[in-house]
Amino acid sequence: MHTTTRFPRARTTALALLTLTWATQAWAADTPAPAVKAVNVKISRQYDAERRDFTLESQDAGRLGDNGWPEKAYYCGTGRSFVILPVKPAADGTKPWLLYAPFRNVPNETHAWMFKQLLANGFTIAGIDVGESSGNPEGRAAYTRLYEHLVKEYGVDRKVCLLTQSRGGLMGYNWAAENPDKVQCIGGLYPVCDIASYPGIPAACKAYRMTEDQLREKLAEHNPIDRLEPLAKVKVPILHVHGDKDGVVPLKKNSEVLHKRYQALGGPSKLIVIPGKGHEVCPEIFNCQPLVDFFLHYGQDITKKKKQ
């Protein structure tokens, strides 16, 4: 006798929903995330090039960090971003770009000598305001969103050059340590490399929403000089320019320590020490041709070139 198995209606509905859930998850896994849109776009000119200031959708200060964190705008920034488009394409057809940190009232005329050379050689230059983050996780997440936006919307190379200046060293290096496959090279203008040196544990712990003791305990998870191994493994080149009279970001506690540790790990690193100069704007530091040449040399998709 032929029999027909009948499932209870509730069980049939549950099975159908489960099947739909599996199908939806499989589709989502194979579907790339939509590009983050730029809003409030303002176009101007800087360094004889087109500059666009914008905010990434859902990237404003109200969405960064915990909504119950009263100081989130100070320690996470506004999410305001900029991109400066190249004056002309790179001769080799690549689309190199530079991610600059920090960004609040800079870059400015101080960087004109360097940036004009890069823009004339096909570089795109970008940055995002992450406030006084001291390299905190919220700031790193903001850099990732900007990176994804630039790669998807502007078609720049998947490996970016980093220029870290002063406290921007904490921001840039902490992001780079977690994204070594996305980094082409790192240049520094007297960058902060040790949180304990600047801004110091008592100040930085607020950006991490920790007590002083908690940050000291977890310092190696957030401190550039302790997070170099991932970068050294993939041989990311590093070049710092630092004055030996810097009293704000001391050479010996920052660039010199990082340089020695990175070389000990097998990473390619060079340190240019400027005698008699401090934490200041001067031609010896900001008009450093070896640093520009460093970016011009490495700021290209070398992997793609080798395949050609």
Sequence-separated (6 or more) residues with CB below 8 Å from residue 217: none
For residue 21, give the amino acid letter.
T
Q: Tell me, what CATH number does 164's domain have? A: 3.40.50.1820
Please report the pLDDT score of residue 217 as a whole number. 97
Average pLDDT, the chain: 86
**11 domain residue, yes or no:** no
Number of domains the chain contains: 1
- Please tell me the distance from the alpha carbon of residue 300 to that of residue 8, in angstroms, as a whole number: 63
Q: Which domain holds residue 110?
A: 35-300
Please report the pLDDT score of residue 33 as a whole number. 52
Sequence-separated (6 or more) residues with CB below 8 Å from residue 95: 89, 122, 124, 154, 155, 156, 157
**53 domain residue, yes or no:** yes
Angle at 99 between CA 303 and CA 209, to 5 degrees: 120
**10 domain residue, yes or no:** no
Please report the pLDDT score of residue 58 as a whole number. 63
**199 domain residue, yes or no:** yes
**278 domain residue, yes or no:** yes
**7 domain residue, yes or no:** no
**12 domain residue, yes or no:** no
Segment 79-88 mean pLDDT: 94
Q: How confident is the model at residue 67 (pLDDT cuts 50, 70, 90)?
A: low
Please report the pLDDT score of residue 46 as a whole number. 96
pTM summary value: 0.85
For residue 51, give the amino acid letter.
R
Query: Per-residue pLDDT tens for 85-124?
Result: 999 998 888 999 999 999 877 789 999 999 999 999 999 9
Instruction: Indicate if the pLDDT at residue 1 is higher than 50.
Output: no
CA 24 to mean position of chain CA atoms: 33
Q: Which of 302, 306, 291, 38 is nearest to 152 (CA)?
A: 38
Query: Per-residue pLDDT tens for 217-240?
Result: 999 999 999 999 999 999 999 999
Please report the pLDDT score of residue 72 as a whole number. 82
**88 domain residue, yes or no:** yes
Please report the pLDDT score of residue 92 as a whole number. 86
Query: Per-residue pLDDT tens for 194-220?
Result: 999 999 999 999 999 999 999 999 999
Comparison of pLDDT for 101 and 71, the residue scoring more? 101
Instruction: Give the chain's end-to-end CA distance (angstroms, integer).
Output: 70
Instruction: Indicate if the pLDDT at residue 9 is higher than 60.
Output: no
Instruction: Indicate if the pLDDT at residue 308 is higher than 60.
Output: no
